[in-house]
Amino acid sequence: MAQQTQAAYYTEFGGIGKIQVGPLDLPEVGEGEVRVRVKAAGINPVDYIVREGHFQQVVPNAFPAVPGWDVAGIVEECGHGASRLPEGSEVYGYVRRPVVQHGTFAEHIVVPECYLALRPQRLSWQAAGGLPLAGLTAYQSVIVAGGLKAGETVLILGASGGVGGTAIQLAKNVGATVTAVASGQNADYMKELGADFTIDYKAGPVAEAVQKVAPQGVDLLFDAVSGDTLSQSLSALKPTGRLISVLNDGKALKLPASVHFAHVMAQPSVPGLNHLRELADAGKLAVPIAATFSLADTKKAFEQIESKHTTGKVVIVP
């Protein structure tokens, strides 16, 4: 008889009401796989987009589907060929697999070892569980695709969320000057993360406010929110600047040919996770936690995320 685990899951696309919590069969630990006791699993806006069926063309679902791509936990069993992270290893990972089915909102998961890295010891379990997707998105956008360097200027849109808050810290770590855009009520929070300047997107055209702190324009515009805020910000970019977006494919932006544009969707990466761990353990990367919820309260966790007013990370603790 198959081993079971408590999990949050849905059997059809739809709203929060589709979420159920109960026992599901746990897959056998196969070649190259490990079984992990989940200590924390971050919940991200993409999780409800997937649950509503809007991500099918990118990552298809198989039902019953357990949501969740972020995880931190302890390796309990190693399959054949999985020898990098022995039993007892404390790990974390961004486990976006080719099909959404065996996600992280569960007490136990079985996952290929190749998605996991040793977790940051300086962070709590909750913080480690909330870091992978946001951390890799910010790192692969601002540092890898954006090529941000010391002495440059960066404008971060949606800077109070999980991705934006991590981007502030990564940008400061390389020696850039950071202007962070979000609601004015989050100005102190963004400064605590390292922002040099903050802008309230509700207070008027963003580009006009940027002009006051970066008269020559910014080298890099990192868009983690898109919409009207992005439209208002485009003229703040230098003519030869770089625009990196996690939400916009750029097709409707009509950018000058001299602007470098890239759309980034975070990819699982052990080297990236290792880099984030090193920063966190050196005290250079924090993961502020907005709220934690039990597995039984997964619906409430989704309600928090879907309010679209979360500062920091929301984490499920099975």
For range 284-288, the mean pLDDT: 98
Judge contact between 77 and 97, C-beta under 8 A.
no
For range 99-107, the mean pLDDT: 97
CA–CA distance, 25 with 38 (Å, rounded to integer): 16
- Segment (H or E) for 83: none
CA distances from 135 to 62, 191, 277, 279, 288 (A): 27, 18, 10, 11, 12
Give the per-residue pLDDT at 147.
98
pLDDT band at 315 (very low <50, low <70, confident <90, very high): very high
pLDDT band at 310 (very low <50, low <70, confident <90, very high): confident
Residue 99's Cβ-count burial label (10 Å; 0-12, 13-18, 19+) is exposed
pTM, full prediction: 0.97
| Mean pLDDT score across all residues of the chain | 96
CA–CA distance, 208 with 148 (Å, rounded to integer): 23
Structural domains in the chain plus CATH codes: 4-131+287-317 (3.90.180.10), 134-263 (3.40.50.720)
Report the percentage of the chain scoring pLDDT > 70: 100
Give the per-residue pLDDT at 144.
98
Closest Cα to residue 42, out of 107, 143, 132, 161? 132
For range 283-305, the mean pLDDT: 97
pLDDT band at 139 (very low <50, low <70, confident <90, very high): very high
Give the per-residue pLDDT at 285.
98
Cβ neighbours of 117 (radius 10 Å): 24
